[in-house]
Structure 1
Amino acid sequence: MEIFYAVLLLVLATIVANTIYPYFPAIPQAFYQIFVGGLLSLVPLYHHFILEPEVFMLLIIAPLMFYDGRNANAGELRKNMGSVMSMAVVLAILTVVLLGYLSHAVLSTLPLALAFALAAIVTPTDAVAVGSITANMAVPERVMGMLERESLFNDASGLVAFSLALTAFTTGKFSLGGGIKHFLIVFFGGLLIGLILGVIAVWLRVYLVRGGMDSSSVIVPYDILVPFVIYLAAEHIGLSGILAVVAAGLMFSISTDQLRLSSTQLQLVSRSTWHILTSILNGFVFVLLGVSLPTVWVNIQRDSTKSIPTYVLLAVILYVVMLALRYLWIRFDWALIRSENKDRRHNALIGALSGVHGTITLAMAFSLPLTLNGHAFPFRNSMIFIAAVVIILSLLVPTFIMPMLLPNKEVAVDPAEALRERKALVAYATERLAQENPDTPSATQAVIETLNSQATTERPDRQKMSEILNHATQIEVNTVQALADNGTISQGFANRYVRILLMKSQMSHNNPFVNSTLWIRFVWHRLTHVFSRRRHREQRIAQQEKWLKQHPQTAEQERLRAERIKQERQPRRFRRRRDSAADERRRENYLKIEQDVYNDVIAYLTDISSVDNQTEVNAVRNYYNARHRRFASKEISDQQNELFIQAFQYEYTYIRQRRSAKEVSPALAEEMYQQVSTDQMLYMQESSAAD
């Protein structure tokens, strides 16, 4: 159970970091995740916490690499295969060799084989981490494409080199020819087995869909299991599991047209599930880094306190050398990205700084064996610490320098303008619905409530909402008084309704303490009213009995008065049963008041609704809709289907009018069309599922 709780807290920490990031997006998301992980390390459960390396690679790296391969552009990858081989194989191997000898020279106590393993750990780049830093920057297209393609395969190059170095250290045997041969077999063998298993996985998925088993409960778990099965199969026969899942992901990318034969709902669910899963896994890695660093730090201090400055210096040297090597490689166009001469220096600098290290680097560091021949694996904590410093440097340096080199990204659609148009779109559709369907206010308002909920997620302004609610309450009072004036309801019933209404209104505006006080006062009033009414009834009966003794009556008069006294003495619940007709009249009066009040308030809200106060009006509208829904008829759900179709048509009409008048850009119009189309599709699917 400890493992379960530990992983659960890591996931929760990832969610917390992802929640904080949108408020301060200037800082890369990875730093929030590392910081939250550092706080989590204070929990006793994470003192000396260690995640099994094999489990780490299988459960985190395999699905991440499969997802990257699945989202890669196979056509662009084929066109730029020379660039891929140059950056992901040639440069990666050269970097491992150079950094391996350099690490051994700086830290002579580190065995040469482990120095090569350290070099292999810090070599792979992470395009996802680059994207988090350059989210709002206009990175040259050639450079970004190179980074994305490179990160697919240099991970595998680093992993294979890492495996060879560990094998050489643990066995003490290594030959250059044998190492190259093993590298080629593991590298290309992993690609081959991944392609074969990927084809089989795609064929089986298409077979399931065509066989009618295309429900999300079948296909989505199938998609998620594919990378784990392929990774395990490749590793079982001694090939690169990472390259196998990348190749399988590429087969899914190539087979996109076949995979689109499934329902749109399934595609949306699958895409959303993968996006959420990979987002959590990417954050999980950096949270784990934050959790592990304090333990690594303590272990290093226990082993050799004087070595920490040396480790930091080595990490800085490794990062600077990798930066220079990447710059020269791209500057002289050995990367084969075919930059223009005038852009080559700039692209080289951006490409060098974009060599951010992240998930794979940390994964390989944590995958170092825990023990060797029954003893703790030598230099494990030191290598993890050096890798962590390299990761942090590769995140920090571009965070400060890249904004000075790159302009802000120009978005095709301004988010603020898109939000305004979305609000105006919904306002237009809701206004047309209310005008065209005056005879079905309940069903119409239910549709309007749903449309408004999709327009914005902003929090309503409390002051504006309070003013609108006050006006709505006054309209209720006026409506009830008008019903009493024309004789529809009694004045006493109207007064009672208004008192309850004003009390509810006051409770909805005050703080919780005042609300509790009002509720207690209300309950006390009801209790004292019951007891006082009983006391007054006893007094009235006693007076009647006294009057009978003082004023002799006929036998019939005495009998009638005795029956009246007996009725007075009966409990109230029995007397109320005898007046069921009055109860029914009271219910009819309440329903009459509710319907008239609802119609008048909704008419007022429709009149004042605008783009500026849409959020506040919607909040008040939702309150009245929820209150009125208790009395709505069952026919409303049938009416809603027709009204939703009308609403979507009104939204399409609004977009077409705005685009024809050139009041919105084609890009914004296209985005609005997609939003409405998605809303319509989801509603129709939910409606058909409900039927």
Structure 2
Amino acid sequence: MAVFYAVLLLVLATIVANTVYPYFPIIPQAFYQIFAGALLSLVPLYHHFVLEPEVFMLLIIAPLMFYDGRNANAKELRENLGSVFSMAVLLAILTVVLMGYLSHAMLATMPLALAFALAAIVTPTDAVAVSSITTNMAVPERVMGMLERESLFNDASGLVAFSLALTAFTTGEFSLGNGIKHFLIVFFGGLLIGLILGLVAVWTRLYLVRTGKDSTSVIVPFDVLIPFLIYLAAEHLGLSGILAVVAAGLIYSLSNNQLRLSSTQLQLVSRSTWRILTSILNGFVFVLLGVSLPTVWVNIQQDHTKSIPTYVLLAVILYVVMLALRYLWIRFDWALIHSKPAERRENALIGALSGVHGTITLAMAFSLPLTLHGSTFPLRNSMIFIAAVVIILSLLVPTLLLPFILPTKQLPVDPAEALQERKALVAYATDRLVQENPDYPEQAQKVVEILNSQAMTERPDRRKVQELLQQATQIEVETVQKLADDGVISSGFANRYVRMLVLKSRMSNNNPFTNLILWLRFVGHRISHSFGRHGRRKRRIAQQQQRLQRHPVSPEQQRLIQQRLQQEQAAPHHGRHKRDPQADKQRRESFLKIEQDVYNNVIAFLTDVSSIENQAEVNSVRNYYNARHRRFMSQETTDQQNELFIQAFQHEYTYIRQKRSAQELSPAMAEELYQQVSTDQMLYMQEIAGEN
């Protein structure tokens, strides 16, 4: 159970970090995740927490690499094979060799094989981390494409080199010829087994779709399991599991046209599942870094207190040398991205700074064995610490420098403008819907409520909501008074209803403490009324008998009064009086009449005062009255409501066409609105199909 709680807290910390990030997006998301992990390290459960390296690679890295391969553009990859080989193989191997000798030269206590393992750890780049840093920056297309393609395969190069270095260290034997042979077998063997198993997986998926077994409960778990199964199969054969899952992902990418033949709902669920899964796993890695750093720091201090400055210096030198190497490689176009001569210097600087190290680097650092021949693995904490410093530097430096080099990304559609147009579109559709369907007010308002909820993102102004509620309450009072004046309901019932509205209004305007006092006073009144009922009845009977003695009446009237008094005396002393079904029915009809007229008048008022500026506040009040009305009137989804939804979507399409014809919307804005309406319509139609 301890492992379960530990993983659960790590996931929760990831969620918290991802929640905070949108409020201050200027800081990369990875830093929030590292900080969340550092705070989590204060929990005693994590003081000596160690995640098994094999489990880490299988459960985290395999699905992440499969997802990257699945989303890669296979056509661009074929067209840029030379660039991929140059960056992901040649540059990666050169970096491992140079960094290995440099690390060994600076740390004489580190064996050469371990120095090469450290170099292999810090070599791979992470395109996802780059994207999080450059969210609002316009990275040149050639450079960004190069980074994405490079990160697919230099991970595998680093992992194979890492495996060779560890094997050489643990066995004490290394042959250059055997090393190259082993590299080629592991590298291309991993690709081959991944391609074969990827084809098998795609064929199996297509077979399930063709035979009608394409429900989300079958296909989505099948897709999620694929990277784990392929990784295990490749590792069992002694090949690169990472390259195998990348190759399988590329097969999925090449088969996109066939895979799209499944239902729209399945595609939406599958994409959403993978996005959520990979987002959590990417964050999980950095949270784990934050959790592990304090423990690593303490262990290093206990073993080699004076070595920490040396480790930090080595990490800085490794990062600077890799930065310079990447710059020269791209500057002289050895990266084969074919930049224009005037752009090479800038592209080289951007490409060098964007060589961010993240998930794979940390994964390999944590995958260092815990023990060797029964003893603690030498320098494990030191290597993790150096890798962590390199990761932090590679995140921090571009965060500080790239904003001065890259221009701000120009979005095709301004989000604020798109939100305003979305509000205007919904307002137009809802107005038309209400005007054209006066015979179905409840169903129309339900549709209006859902459409408005899809268009609203900001919180309503509480003061404006209170003002609208006060005006709506006044409309309720006026409606009830008119019903009483017209004789539709009794004046007593109208007075009770108005007193209830006054109490509700007072409670909505007061603070919670005052509301509690009002509620306790109301409950106390009801309790005292219940317990004092018998005494009041006795006093009332006595008073009536006294009046009979003071004011004699006819024998017939006296007989009737005495009969009523005897009935009241014979009534039970405890419990409620027997309810009159006819009176209850009449009260129910009166209340429903009030509710229906109040609802119609309030909704008409809200429709009149609604505008784009106060939509959030009007919707808040409208939702309250809709919910109350449905509770009392027991309205359910009907075929008429479904037809109203279809009408509303048609009105939204009409709005876009009219605005586009009048050239009041740009093509990009119209396309954005079309996509939003199409998605809403598709989701709603699928919901209807699911209900039926």
Question: Which TM-score bucket, shorter chain as reference?
Answer: over 0.9
Q: 1:182 matched to which residue of 2?
A: 182
1:638 and 2:639 equivalent? yes
TM-aligned CA deviation for residue 51 of structure 1: 0.1
For 2:589 and 2:143, locate their aligned partners in 1 and report how far apart those are by CA, in whole Å. 73
TM-aligned CA deviation for residue 544 of structure 1: 3.7
- Aligned to 2:304, the other structure's residue is in SS state helix
For 1:553 and 1:442, locate their aligned partners in 2 and report how far apart those are by CA, in whole Å. 56
Query: Deviations for 1:539-563, whole angstroms, at most 9, x for unmatched residues?
Result: 1212344566788999876654442
Q: 1:114 matched to which residue of 2?
A: 114
5 Å-filtered alignment, 1:99-178, equals 99-178=99-178
For 2:74 and 2:565, locate their aligned partners in 1 and report how far apart those are by CA, in whole Å. 95
Is the 8 Å Cα contact of residues 95 and 322 (structure 2) preserved in structure 1?
yes
For residue 121 of structure 1, what is the amino acid of its counterpart?
A: I
For 1:171 and 1:89, locate their aligned partners in 2 and report how far apart those are by CA, in whole Å. 25
Q: 1:579 matched to which residue of 2?
A: 580
Q: 1:371 matched to which residue of 2?
A: 371
Q: Evaluate the alpha carbon distance shift between residue 288 and residue 162 of structure 1 in structure 2; reply closer, same or farther with a 3 A threshold.
A: same
TM-aligned CA deviation for residue 638 of structure 1: 2.1
1:535 and 2:540 equivalent? no
Is the 8 Å Cα contact of residues 100 and 117 (structure 2) preserved in structure 1?
yes
TM-aligned CA deviation for residue 347 of structure 1: 0.3
Q: 2:272 matched to which residue of 1?
A: 272
Q: 1:284 matched to which residue of 2?
A: 284
TM-score using structure 2 length: 0.98
Number of residues paired by the alignment? 691
Query: How large is the Cα RMSD of the aligned pairs?
Result: 1.6
Q: 1:453 matched to which residue of 2?
A: 453
Is the 8 Å Cα contact of residues 48 and 295 (structure 1) preserved in structure 2?
yes
1:687 and 2:685 equivalent? no
Q: 2:360 matched to which residue of 1?
A: 360
For 2:181 and 2:42, locate their aligned partners in 1 and report how far apart those are by CA, in whole Å. 46
For 1:132 and 1:634, locate their aligned partners in 2 and report how far apart those are by CA, in whole Å. 47
Is the 8 Å Cα contact of residues 534 and 573 (structure 2) preserved in structure 1?
no
For 1:635 and 1:313, locate their aligned partners in 2 and report how far apart those are by CA, in whole Å. 69
TM-aligned CA deviation for residue 565 of structure 1: 1.4
For 1:578 and 1:289, locate their aligned partners in 2 and report how far apart those are by CA, in whole Å. 69
- Aligned to 1:7, the other structure's residue is in SS state helix
1:660 and 2:661 equivalent? yes
Is the 8 Å Cα contact of residues 63 and 278 (structure 1) preserved in structure 2?
yes
Q: 1:490 matched to which residue of 2?
A: 490
Greater Cα shift, 509-518 or 207-216: 509-518
- Aligned to 1:378, the other structure's residue is in SS state coil
Query: Deviations for 1:426-471, whole angstroms, at most 9, x for unmatched residues?
Result: 1011100110011111111011111111001211110111111111
Q: Evaluate the alpha carbon distance shift between residue 118 and residue 531 of structure 1 in structure 2; reply closer, same or farther with a 3 A threshold.
A: same
For 2:326 and 2:139, locate their aligned partners in 1 and report how far apart those are by CA, in whole Å. 17
Q: Evaluate the alpha carbon distance shift between residue 17 and residue 551 of structure 1 in structure 2; reply closer, same or farther with a 3 A threshold.
A: closer
Is the 8 Å Cα contact of residues 442 and 632 (structure 1) preserved in structure 2?
no
For 1:498 and 1:446, locate their aligned partners in 2 and report how far apart those are by CA, in whole Å. 27
For residue 457 of structure 2, what is the amino acid of its counterpart?
A: T
5 Å-filtered alignment, 1:386-397, equals 386-397=386-397
Greater Cα shift, 8-17 or 679-688: 679-688
5 Å-filtered alignment, 1:311-330, equals 311-330=311-330
TM-aligned CA deviation for residue 422 of structure 1: 0.5
For 1:435 and 1:138, locate their aligned partners in 2 and report how far apart those are by CA, in whole Å. 46
TM-aligned CA deviation for residue 274 of structure 1: 0.3
Q: 1:404 matched to which residue of 2?
A: 404
Unmatched segments (≥5 aa) in structure 2: none
Q: 1:306 matched to which residue of 2?
A: 306
Q: 2:69 matched to which residue of 1?
A: 69
Query: Deviations for 1:270-308, whole angstroms, at most 9, x for unmatched residues?
Result: 001100000000000000000000000000000010000
5 Å-filtered alignment, 1:472-487, equals 472-487=472-487
Query: Deviations for 1:80-125, whole angstroms, at most 9, x for unmatched residues?
Result: 0000000000000000000000000000100000000000000000
Q: 1:351 matched to which residue of 2?
A: 351
Query: Deviations for 1:360-392, whole angstroms, at most 9, x for unmatched residues?
Result: 000000000000000000000000000000000
For residue 588 of structure 1, what is the amino acid of its counterpart?
A: E
TM-aligned CA deviation for residue 516 of structure 1: 1.1
For 2:183 and 2:464, locate their aligned partners in 1 and report how far apart those are by CA, in whole Å. 68
Q: Evaluate the alpha carbon distance shift between residue 386 and residue 491 of structure 1 in structure 2; reply closer, same or farther with a 3 A threshold.
A: same
Query: Deviations for 1:154-202, whole angstroms, at most 9, x for unmatched residues?
Result: 0000000000000000000000000000000000000000000000000
- Aligned to 1:542, the other structure's residue is in SS state helix
Q: Evaluate the alpha carbon distance shift between residue 443 and residue 152 of structure 1 in structure 2; reply closer, same or farther with a 3 A threshold.
A: same
Q: 1:216 matched to which residue of 2?
A: 216
Q: Evaluate the alpha carbon distance shift between residue 455 and residue 551 of structure 1 in structure 2; reply closer, same or farther with a 3 A threshold.
A: closer
1:605 and 2:606 equivalent? yes
For 2:85 and 2:152, locate their aligned partners in 1 and report how far apart those are by CA, in whole Å. 11
Greater Cα shift, 545-554 or 336-345: 545-554
For residue 353 of structure 2, what is the amino acid of its counterpart?
A: L
Query: Deviations for 1:640-683, whole angstroms, at most 9, x for unmatched residues?
Result: 11100100000000011111111111111111111111111111
For 2:309 and 2:635, locate their aligned partners in 1 and report how far apart those are by CA, in whole Å. 75
For residue 491 of structure 2, what is the amino acid of its counterpart?
A: Q
For residue 506 of structure 2, what is the amino acid of its counterpart?
A: Q
Is the 8 Å Cα contact of residues 442 and 636 (structure 1) preserved in structure 2?
no
Q: 2:677 matched to which residue of 1?
A: 676
For 2:668 and 2:510, locate their aligned partners in 1 and report how far apart those are by CA, in whole Å. 46
TM-aligned CA deviation for residue 66 of structure 1: 0.2
Q: 1:594 matched to which residue of 2?
A: 595
Unmatched segments (≥5 aa) in structure 1: none
- Aligned to 1:663, the other structure's residue is in SS state coil
5 Å-filtered alignment, 1:326-341, equals 326-341=326-341
5 Å-filtered alignment, 1:418-567, equals 418-546=418-546, 560-567=560-567
For 1:618 and 1:359, locate their aligned partners in 2 and report how far apart those are by CA, in whole Å. 44
TM-aligned CA deviation for residue 260 of structure 1: 0.2
- Aligned to 1:611, the other structure's residue is in SS state coil
For 2:635 and 2:140, locate their aligned partners in 1 and report how far apart those are by CA, in whole Å. 58
- Aligned to 2:638, the other structure's residue is in SS state helix
For 1:547 and 1:409, locate their aligned partners in 2 and report how far apart those are by CA, in whole Å. 91
For 1:367 and 1:442, locate their aligned partners in 2 and report how far apart those are by CA, in whole Å. 61
1:9 and 2:9 equivalent? yes
TM-aligned CA deviation for residue 504 of structure 1: 1.4
TM-aligned CA deviation for residue 521 of structure 1: 1.1
1:243 and 2:253 equivalent? no
Q: Evaluate the alpha carbon distance shift between residue 276 and residue 635 of structure 1 in structure 2; reply closer, same or farther with a 3 A threshold.
A: closer
Is the 8 Å Cα contact of residues 28 and 133 (structure 1) preserved in structure 2?
yes
TM-aligned CA deviation for residue 514 of structure 1: 1.6
